[in-house]
């Protein structure tokens, strides 16, 4: 019975509030550095970070671009690979039982530990980074997609069966559509992991990207530079996340939650 | 057309077994309109699901068109007790779902689209074609589900309380339409209802089930000439007489079977 | 995509992948100098420099064929080869004396080796500093067991030291300026260099794939020659070399890089050292292997000098 | 209409099939090392790894115990912190918009980059590891819980409102329960991340745990030892994952999916 | 008890507005039984939701017990058109939900539990107390929902087609029970039905709504003495007469209002 207020209703608020939230977070960070007089070599002030960024905005943005590209490529690859795996898993209990432990095994390997391996196999190019992104983020996609498809109401599954739908139709016309909100939840979890994957990939044998910058900053004990890179990563994550939210709103108008 | 021999159905639940159906022997001829009445929970929906091939019988055999039923069939349509509409599809595209699913359509898609519009108009939903299910009232949803079950002109129609959420007028109109379809296309119809009058007016034969476990108490032939109407008609007295008898049959078992 | 490695570029130059030992610290400047001044090009190479991520990773990447040459700490190379037979070999030295050291800050109460007793030292596990410590301890007459080593990855070390969480860290001597910079109050670092008491130990070495060394010795010689020429320039002109590094790696802190190179001078070419730059001494290699076996860093007899170095390719005067 | 076969129906199959799957994966791995003659310094054979493990099973198991403890502590902490945050987020759109960007920011920081920071702040004890686990795994928990609670059907939310339920009751008696399957999906994603978090935490300033073993082995190119540790991590992940699956089956018998 | 003044309701949909209700002026006295009839989609459910405080009216005012309605009230119970059972709760605990939610219960929990068992027996669900909703037939679910709405002896009962999925006998029994409750406890009841006969037999007054948009066509007073029965009784002719009139009223508007 609540009437929607400006804060919840207007589209402007949907943009302004997150920005206020971020601003508050940054203010808090700044306060922490002042109140606890945290040394800048541990945690620089937001101001330092901004100054550092404007030292060389072009260079940092181009590194961000590199990481962004890897992130998106790996993420898309994870979707292309993960969703069909989820389909197979939901389709066959036997397959699920055979494949899940394998997926879990791959997923539970600490990715930092295998970064050099990937470089040895795939060289210094984009590929080991993209594969790292893929490895980081395919699991949430698989598991959310599978779980979403499994939770399709029996009522609707029976409807499809009664219409003599093929298994493929059952999956594409019903289960996949039904699972969409949960798949998007998976995407939202995966996208941050994808960003981190790109960074980890860039720790080994890279000559560009934000991961390289972070690694690099160690060579000059430049904590502020590292944090500038980390902030850019955060911004990238946040932008990608809200990009997914937007996409969800556009694609799934029927799933707009009620509270 | 439909033949059940010694069919029984037992559900295994956490809290013990429930015998839903027992020793059902039923033969429905092609083009026949059979209505099924019985107290709530006696196994009517279960019986339809057995015929539709959505559930394998615990005992006995089910045949449709001389073939044993092993799964849903293309020429059988099932209208469920609940509307079971896909929430992301508009009214029109929910109605078109069976056409989409059956690729080997004999008519063109455009022809079906016209038919869908025609059906929606028939049930009084013109102007709602592009709405989503959650914007409809209960009865409107049920009518969409009805249109969906009619769109492909099926050979056999299984209908589980199709008019339960409709007002008297709409009921009258639609029951007339249903009779017209049965006569024109020689459709075989098995129809569950709680309205005894409806059962009498629509049926060639009324099957009365006993309360849990559902057994066949009696099969009553109705010889009133068609078309018949739920509204006032020439055979009021006959309808009333049979209705009274069915009422008695339903009550009778109540005292007899409740051990 | 290793299709370009070892291949001929359009300009007739041989394409070569080169890995620094770790990152793009000032101490790695010589490769960039050689690149910048055209030494590589003159020797017929088109070199791509990629920052490495530690000796073992560098060895794996070279062994796996992704890189042709790389830099690694010689002690770590020996130990690694003791554990696993990677197809890599050493073809020259960068530092004639080990850079390994324990580093502390003024005021932490560590001024001389004996002050280490009872202290906790943070270091990357398996680093030369950690592995050689028993040998070092024996040389300075303290009980190796009296010092605790706490494993931590390299980037964390300066922070741990500056924050006082530990009183000492394992560090290469050239890290001094960086440690000083990282410390908020810029206290002077105290360096206990292993090289001072263990002059036999080498610092970084140049490695390459075994088959490259075997099949194309001339190419390897030419490459090391060019690289060492760059190294010579860093000895001659640390500031200029740091400036060159900054050209390729804009984030370089010029002052830190310059002082790193200043310090590195006497390890690349100690005053007492009379041999050619990059020289490898078979006897010293034997001694090092012996020391490692002694300190239980690896089982006895697990490597011979031949497994580790290709003497025929080592620079001759 | 499918009758459940032994493969899908029996509880024994539920244990045996995953083991077969794992065995097949290991066989594949072994084959790969043989066929492509991959060098052991890149990828040891499974056999080598097993031998390495039995070199010092006691020591490795005790390291595993350390990591396991940290994982579980951090994971529980993440639940204790994450679920209430999700509750707040669902309760108030304003809060959601304010808080989400902050969560995203924290989540998108590459954890490897801040591991030293944690040690400097919290010392060399268990805490920085537990906090690392928490940071790694709280986000999937928050987002799945929030999304699950948001997707509660309007019908049921209206029921609670009509019963004049307080907001707290609406959340605890309805939304949280309804979201359970999705919360478990979040847990399943989170648990692998928790394990990885423990490892990353142990990279810095630890003297025990599997992360320490990996770090240790990396320095001496003992790839086989590293893989033995990684395999133990995988086993740990898999066991924890199936522990969650079991818990889900016990706690949510009503949510057993149908396929 | 209930007072609506100039109430209107307009829904904003993607595909344009729907005026569901217009100029509704209705006053229901305490202890009165009002039935609401009208064609499917005319706004009956919407009207109940307005009274229940689940929806704020677009125009006009709603009062219950002399107070403006701003949200759901403790003394009003709502039985929805769909059963709306919590899938994880047994039948009994679904019935007990309102008691659990209202902490300020005047009776002890045990007393309510007895009452729940009594109600379940009354609707013929003895023996099903511990089953989960998905194990019940449609009509059984509706009966559970009915029990739930009766458990707290509410002052005001809003019932949306409560008997639509029930057989004639159960309907008769339950309508008698409902009249008993009304008379004993002076409960005010607003009852939506599609059965004109039911509307007549149960009501003190029948409100007839016009089709979309729902306006009040007429209010018919029923003066037949109570208790009345759906089964044969002394007032058959009177019931038939009023029913015919209502039927005419429903049809009439059909031609008149469909512009
Ligand atoms: N959430 C909604 N969004 C848009 N339109 C709605 C919504 N809810 C109801 N409507 C519209 O309001 C009108 C009245 O709906 P309501 O559910 O009140 O009908 P009803 O009289 O209960 O019908 P029925 O007898 O079929 O249950 C319908 O035309 C419906 O399409
Ligand atoms: N999945 C199930 N698990 C356990 N029991 C079930 C299941 N489905 C139905 N039953 C039981 O089978 C019996 C018959 O159910 P069915 O739905 O066929 O009844 P119905 O005649 O359609 O009743 P209604 O008129 O109320 O719809 C009921 O007692 C019900 O409890
Ligand atoms: Mg039924
Ligand atoms: Mg309604």
Query: How large is the ipTM?
Result: 0.87
Residues B51, B169 within the same domain: yes
- pLDDT for C4 equals 42
Point out the residues of chain B with pLDDT beneath 50: 254-259
Q: Please identify, by atom number, the ligand 1 atom nearest to the C-alpha of residue E194.
A: 25
Supply the pLDDT for residue A255: 58
The residue whose two tokens read 């001339």 is C218
If asked whether residues B111 and B90 sit together in one domain, one would say yes
Q: Exposed/middle/buried for D220, CB within 10 Å: 0-12, 13-18, 19+?
A: buried
Chain C's closest residue to A42, CA to CA, is C159
Are the C-beta atoms of E204 and E179 separated by less than 8 Å? no
DSSP H or E stretch at residue C59: helix C55-63
CA of D161 to the centre of ligand 2 (A): 29
C140: distance to nearest CA of chain A, Å?
31
**Helices marked H in C110-209 — which ranges?**
128-131, 133-139, 157-162, 176-182, 194-197
> Is B31 in the same domain as B66?
yes
Is the pLDDT score of E158 beyond 70?
yes
Q: What is the CATH number of the domain that holds B218?
A: 3.40.50.300
Of D184, D217, D188, nearest in space to D203 by CA: D217
Q: Which of B94, B127, B153 is the last residue of a domain?
A: B153
The predicted model gives A168-173 an average pLDDT of 92
* Residue C283 to chain A, least CA–CA distance (Å): 33
- Do C155 and C148 form a contact (C-beta atoms < 8 A)? no
Per-residue pLDDT tens for A1-51? 444 566 666 677 777 888 888 888 888 888 888 887 777 777 788 888 888
Distance of CA A47 to the CA centre of its chain: 27
Spatial distance between the Cα atoms of B49 and B62, rounded to a whole number of angstroms: 11
**B-chain residues near E159 (CB < 8 A):** none
- What pLDDT is stored for residue B104 in this prediction? 65
- The CA dihedral of A222, A225, A230, A236, to the nearest 10 degrees, is -160
Domain with E100 in it: 83-153
For E59, list phi and psi in degrees, rounded to 5. Answer: -145, 160
- Contact between B134 and D253 using a beta-carbon 8 Å cutoff: no
Q: In this structure, are B92 and B120 located in the same domain?
A: yes
Inter-chain touch B54–A161, beta carbons under 8 Å: yes
Q: Is C11 exposed, middle or buried (0-12, 13-18, 19+ CB in 10 A)?
A: exposed
Same domain for E233 and E179: yes
Whole-angstrom distance, CA of residue C96 vs CA of residue C204: 8
**Would you say the C-alpha torsion E88, E93, E97, E103 has a positive or negative sign?**
negative
What is residue D9's predicted lDDT score, i.e. its pLDDT? 64
pLDDT above 90 (res A71): yes
Looking at residue A7, what is its pLDDT?
Answer: 66
Instruction: Return the structure tokens found at A175.
Output: 């289960």
User: How is residue E41 written in tokens?
Assistant: 């989609």
Give the C-alpha separation, B224 to B204, whole Å.
Answer: 9
Nearest to B97, CA basis, from A179, A146, A90, A156: A156
- CA distance linking residue A187 with residue A198, whole number of Å: 16
Q: Which of C162, C161, C175 is nearest to C257 (CA)?
A: C175
Rounded to an integer, what distance in angstroms lies between the CA atom of residue C44 and that of residue C37?
13
Task: State residue C222's pLDDT score.
Answer: 93
pLDDT score, position A4:
52
Report yes or no: E71 at the A interface, CB cutoff 8 Å: yes
- What pLDDT is recorded for position E109? 82
Same domain, E167 and E229: yes
Contacts of E132 in chain D (CB under 8 A): 254
pLDDT for E79 equals 95
**Phi, then psi, of A180 in degrees rounded to 5:** -45, -50
Instruction: Report how far residue A69's alpha carbon sits from residue E206's, in angstroms, rounded to the nearest whole number.
Output: 68
- Looking at the fold, whether E111 and E223 belong to one and the same domain comes out as no
Are residues B56 and B178 both part of a single domain? yes
Q: Which residues of D touch B54 (CB under 8 A)?
A: 1
> Which pLDDT belongs to residue A6?
64
Number of H helices, E strands in chain A: 12, 0
- Contact pairs from chain A to chain D, CB under 8 Å: 194
* Backbone angle region of C42, left / alpha / beta, with phi > 0 → left and psi within -120 to 50 → alpha: alpha
Query: Which run of H or E residues covers position C69?
Result: strand C69-73
CATH of domain A50-258: 1.10.3720.10
- What is the pLDDT at residue C296? 80
Residues around ligand 3, an ion, CB closer than 5 A = B 45, 81; E 137-138
Chain-wide mean pLDDT for chain D?
85
- Condensed to tens digits (0 to 9), the pLDDT of residues D114-132 reads 787 788 778 788 899 999 9
Nearest ligand, measured from the Cα of B47: 2
Spatial neighbors of B28 by CB under 8 A, at least 6 apart, are B1, B2, B3, B34, B188, B190
Measured between alpha carbons, how far is D149 from E72 in angstroms, rounded to an integer? 21
Taking alpha carbons only, the member of A156, A155, A23, A213 closest to residue D101 is A23
Number of domains in chain E: 2
Is D207 in CB contact (< 8 Å) with chain C?
A: yes
Give the pLDDT of residue B236: 77
Considering only CA atoms, give the Rg of chain D.
Answer: 22
**Angle at alpha carbon of residue A122, lines to A119 and A128, rounded to 5°:** 60
Place of tokens 């100054």: A51
User: What is the distance in A from the centroid of ligand 1 to the CA of B137?
Assistant: 4
Under DSSP, the state recorded for B66 is T
Long-range contacts of A169-175 (CB under 8 A, 24+ apart): A169/B101, A171/A87, A171/A90, A171/A91, A173/B97, A173/B100, A173/B101, A174/B86, A175/A90, A175/A148, A175/A149
Tokens of B89: 């599809």
pLDDT of residue A165 exceeding 70, the answer is yes
| A219 compared with E209, residue with greater pLDDT | E209
| Chain D, window 32-91: residues with a beta carbon less than 8 angstroms from a chain A beta carbon | 42-43, 90-91
Mark which residues 173-202 of D lie under 8 Å from E by CB.
Answer: 173-174, 177
The owner of tokens 């015919």 is E244
> Given the CA of residue B12, which atom of ligand 2 is nearest to it?
4
Contact (CB, 8 A) for E98 and E151: yes
What's the pLDDT score for residue D257?
Answer: 47
Count of C-beta atoms within a 10 Å radius of residue A112:
23
Atom of ligand 1 nearest to the CA of B140: 26
Looking at the fold, whether B250 and B216 belong to one and the same domain comes out as yes
Residue in E31, E32, E24 with CA at minimum distance from that of residue E50: E24
Query: What is the pLDDT, as a whole number, of residue D21?
Result: 84
Please choose from E11, E36, E37, E257 the residue to mutate so as to test ligand 1's pocket, defined by most ligand atoms within 8 A of CB: E11
Q: Which of E99, E123, E153 is the last residue of a domain?
A: E153
Q: How far is CA E50 from CA C73, D154, E21, in A?
A: 79, 16, 10
Q: Does residue A143 sit at the D interface (CB-CB below 8 Å)?
A: yes
Task: Assess contact for D119 and C156: CB atoms under 8 A.
Answer: yes
> Looking only at Cα atoms, what is the longest distance across chain D?
70
Q: Residue B84 — φ and ψ, nearest 5°?
A: 50, 55
CB < 8 Å to C79, chain D = 220-221
Looking at the CA of residue E9, tell me the nearest atom of ligand 1. 12
For residues E31 and E147, membership in a common domain is answered with no
pLDDT tens per residue across span D209-259: 888 888 777 666 677 888 889 889 988 999 999 999 889 888 887 655 444
Nearest Cα to Cα of residue A119 among B20, E137, C61, E35: C61
d(CA C209, CA C89): 6
Query: Region A136-161: what's the mean pLDDT?
Result: 92
Q: Does D253 touch chain B (CB under 8 A)?
A: yes
pLDDT tens for each residue of C40-97: 999 999 999 988 888 888 888 898 888 999 999 999 899 888 888 889 999 999 999 9
Q: CB–CB of E167/E191 below 8 Å?
A: no
Q: Which residue has the tokens 């980081």?
A: A136
Residue C239 confidence class, pLDDT cut points 50, 70, 90: very high
| Pair E172, E70 in one domain | yes
Residue E35 CA, ligand 4 centroid: distance in Å = 13
Picking from B153, B170, B203, the residue at the C-terminal end of a domain is: B153
Q: Which stretch of A80-84, B251-255, C207-211, E109-113 has the lowest confidence by average pLDDT?
A: B251-255
Q: Do chains E and D touch (3 or more CB pairs under 8 A)?
A: yes
Probe ligand 1: pick from E8, E12, E13, E18, max atoms within 8 Å of CB? E18
CA distance E11 to chain A (A): 14
Residue B205's pLDDT is 93
Under 8 Å between Cβ of B169 and B154: no
> Which atom from ligand 1 is nearest to the alpha carbon of E38?
21
Report the C-alpha gap between C260 and C180 in whole angstroms: 11
Least confident stretch, A204-213, B150-159, B164-173, C237-246? A204-213
Catalogue the long-range contacts made by C111-115 (C-beta closer than 8 Å, 24 or more residues apart): C111/C190, C112/C192, C113/C137, C113/C140, C113/C142, C113/C192, C113/C197, C114/C140, C114/C141, C114/C142
Q: Kindly list the distances between the CA atom of residue A25 and the CA atoms of D103, D121, D132, in Å, as whole numbers in the listed order.
A: 10, 20, 20
Question: Exposed/middle/buried for D208, CB within 10 Å: 0-12, 13-18, 19+?
Answer: middle
Going from N- to C-terminal start, the domains of chain D cover 1-38, 50-258
CA distance A142 to chain B (A): 23
Ligand 1, from E13, E17, E46, E258: best to mutate by most atoms within 8 Å of Cβ?
E46
Do B63 and B166 reside in the same domain of the chain?
Answer: yes
Q: How far is D125 from chain E (nearest CA, A)?
A: 43
Chains touching B by CB (3 or more pairs below 8 Å) = A, D, E
On the question of pLDDT at A257 being above 60, the answer is: no
Phi and psi at residue C86, to the nearest 5°: -80, 140
């Amino acid at each position: 019975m609540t009437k929607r207020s400006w804060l919840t209703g207007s589209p402007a608020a949907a943009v302004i509030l997150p920005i206020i939230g971020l601003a508050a977070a940054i203010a808090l960070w700044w306060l922490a550095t002042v109140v606890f007089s945290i040394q800048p070599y541990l945690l620089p002030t937001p101001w330092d970070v901004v100054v550092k960024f404007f030292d060389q905005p072009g260079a940092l943005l181009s590194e961000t671009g590199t990481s962004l590209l890897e992130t998106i490529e790996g993420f898309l690859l994870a979707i292309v690979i993960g969703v069909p795996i989820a389909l197979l898993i939901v389709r066959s209990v036997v397959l699920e039982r055979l494949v899940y432990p394998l997926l879990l095994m791959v997923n539970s390997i600490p990715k930092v530990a295998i970064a050099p391996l990937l470089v040895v196999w795939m060289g210094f190019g984009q590929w080991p980074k993209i594969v790292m992104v893929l490895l980081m983020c395919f699991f949430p996609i698989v598991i959310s997609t599978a779980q979403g498809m499994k939770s399709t109401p029996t009522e609707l599954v029976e409807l499809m069966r009664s219409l003599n739908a093929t298994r493929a139709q059952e999956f594409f016309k019903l289960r996949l559509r039904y699972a969409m909100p949960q798949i998007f939840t998976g995407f939202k979890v995966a996208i941050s992991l994808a960003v981190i994957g790109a960074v980890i990939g860039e720790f080994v044998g890279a000559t560009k990207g934000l991961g390289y910058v972070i690694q690099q900053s160690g060579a000059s004990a430049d904590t502020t530079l590292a944090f500038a890179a980390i902030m850019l990563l955060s911004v990238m994550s946040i932008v990608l996340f809200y990009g997914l939210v937007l996409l969800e709103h556009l694609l799934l108008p029927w799933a707009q939650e009620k509270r | 057309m439909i033949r059940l021999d010694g069919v029984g159905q037992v559900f295994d639940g956490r809290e013990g077994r429930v015998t839903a159906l027992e020793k059902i022997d039923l033969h429905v001829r092609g083009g026949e309109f059979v209505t099924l009445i019985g107290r709530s929970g006696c196994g009517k929906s279960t019986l339809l699901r057995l015929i539709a091939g959505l559930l394998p019988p615990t005992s006995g055999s089910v045949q449709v068109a001389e073939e044993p039923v092993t799964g849903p069939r293309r020429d059988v349509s099932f209208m469920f007790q609940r509307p079971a509409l896909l929430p992301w599809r508009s009214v029109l595209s929910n109605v078109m779902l069976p056409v989409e699913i059956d690729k080997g359509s004999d008519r063109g898609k455009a022809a079906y689209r016209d038919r869908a519009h025609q059906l929606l108009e028939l049930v009084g939903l013109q102007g709602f074609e592009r709405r989503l299910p959650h914007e409809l009232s209960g009865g409107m949803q049920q009518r969409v589900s009805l249109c969906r079950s009619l769109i492909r002109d099926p050979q056999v129609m299984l209908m589980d309380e199709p008019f339960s959420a409709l007002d008297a007028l709409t009921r009258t109109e639609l029951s007339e339409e249903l009779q017209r379809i049965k006569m024109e296309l020689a459709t075989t119809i098995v129809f569950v209802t709680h309205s005894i009058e409806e059962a009498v007016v629509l049926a060639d034969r009324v099957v009365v089930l006993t309360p849990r476990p559902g057994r066949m108490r009696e099969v009553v032939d109705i010889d009133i000439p068609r078309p018949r109407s739920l509204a006032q008609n020439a055979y009021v007295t006959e309808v009333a007489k049979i209705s009274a008898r069915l009422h008695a049959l339903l009550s009778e078992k109540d005292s007899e079977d409740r051990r | 995509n290793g299709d370009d490695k070892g291949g001929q570029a359009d300009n007739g130059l041989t394409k070569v992948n080169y890995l620094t030992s770790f990152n793009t610290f000032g101490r790695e400047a010589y490769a960039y100098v050689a690149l910048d001044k055209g030494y590589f090009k003159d020797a017929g190479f088109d070199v791509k420099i990629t920052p490495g991520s530690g000796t073992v990773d560098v060895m794996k990447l070279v062994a796996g064929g992704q890189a042709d040459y790389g830099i690694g700490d010689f002690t770590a190379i020996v130990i690694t080869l003791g554990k696993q037979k990677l197809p890599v070999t050493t073809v020259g030295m960068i530092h004639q004396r080990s850079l390994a050291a324990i580093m502390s800050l003024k005021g932490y109460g560590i001024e001389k080796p004996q002050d280490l007793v009872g202290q906790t030292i943070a270091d990357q596990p398996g680093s030369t500093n950690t592995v050689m410590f028993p040998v070092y301890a024996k040389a300075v007459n303290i009980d190796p067991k009296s010092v605790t080593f706490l494993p931590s990855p390299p980037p964390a070390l300066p922070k741990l030291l500056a924050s006082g969480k530990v009183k000492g860290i394992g560090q290469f001597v050239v890290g001094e300026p960086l440690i000083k910079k990282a410390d908020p109050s810029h206290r002077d670092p105290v360096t206990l260099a292993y090289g001072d008491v263990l002059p036999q130990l080498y610092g970084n070495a140049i490695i390459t794939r075994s088959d490259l060394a075997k099949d194309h010795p001339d190419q390897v010689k030419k490459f090391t020659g060019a690289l060492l020429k760059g190294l010579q320039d860093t000895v001659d002109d640390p500031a200029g070399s740091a400036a060159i590094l900054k050209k390729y790696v804009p984030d370089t802190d010029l002052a830190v890089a310059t002082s790193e190179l200043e310090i590195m001078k006497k390890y690349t070419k100690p005053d007492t050292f009379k041999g050619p730059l990059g020289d490898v001494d078979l006897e010293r290699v034997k001694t090092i292997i012996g020391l490692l076996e002694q300190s239980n860093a690896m089982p006895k007899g697990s490597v011979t000098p031949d497994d580790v170095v290709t003497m025929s390719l080592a620079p001759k005067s």
